[in-house]
Structures are given as structure tokens and as C-alpha cells.
Amino acid sequence: MKLSLTENSAAWSISSYSDGQFTLRGQHFSGSHFFYPLKKPQPWGITAVSELDTGVFTSELIEDIEMIIIGSGKTLVFPDDEQLMYFYQNNIGFEIMDTAAACRTWNILLSEDRNVMAALIPV
């Protein structure tokens, strides 16, 4: 899928995604990744929401982040209750959506200069 947006040259907006990879600033990133507004995406070693380890969302990883967008792949899949409870108990704002919606939301929030993080599992 091709996405378009007026880009903030400093932000890592997603220009396209398909076949297990994301394209940002002309660079391809294969597999699941963490995305931040102003720094290079970081690999995230999962392939499905069922593998989600909330322990990776440490204070260092999410420092100063307003919210986490979790892209669950081709379809919307919610983590189990224990994983969701981790976010609630640690006052971490989050939204879960399929990865297509997460990519669009990520780009919109970046265009608003919001300090968000995306944890995306590719389609």
C-alpha cells in the first residue's frame, strides 16, 4: 500500500508498507519494528501479537512518549488481558489497530508533531 503525506523532514513517516517491510525515507525495514518520530526504527523480534512481551516497554524505551500505537498485522488482534493490564497499571497510553490503520495513524500524529511511538507487526 502506498501512503502519502506532507512530510516533516525530521520525522520518520511511513511512505509505504507491504510484503513484510516498511519504507521510511527511502529505506526498507523488514519485519516488526519500533518507530519513533526522530530516530531510526529499531527491530522488534515478534511476528504476532500473541508473542507480545510487555516487559520490552521499559521506561528507557518509552521515555517522554505520549502514546504507543500497536499495529497487530493484517487484522485487528488484541493482546490478552494480562498484557493489556500492564499498560493500564503503568499509565502507558496505547492504541491497538491493524497495521494498515496504525501506519496511517502514525503519519497523522507525526504531522501534528506528536511524540508517539509505533510498535508495528508487518502484514
Cell matching residue 113: 508533531
- Give the pLDDT of residue 60: 74
Q: Consecutive sets of 10 residues in the chain, 123 residues long: mean pLDDT of each?
A: 50 89 93 92 94 83 87 94 88 93 95 93 91
Question: 62, 58, 67: which is closest to 97 by C-alpha?
Answer: 67
Which superfamily is assigned to 21-120 in CATH? MTH938-like (3.40.1230.10)
pTM assigned to the model = 0.86
Phi/psi zone of residue 110: left (φ > 0), alpha (ψ -120 to 50 degrees), beta? alpha
Largest alpha-carbon pair distance within the chain? Answer: 38
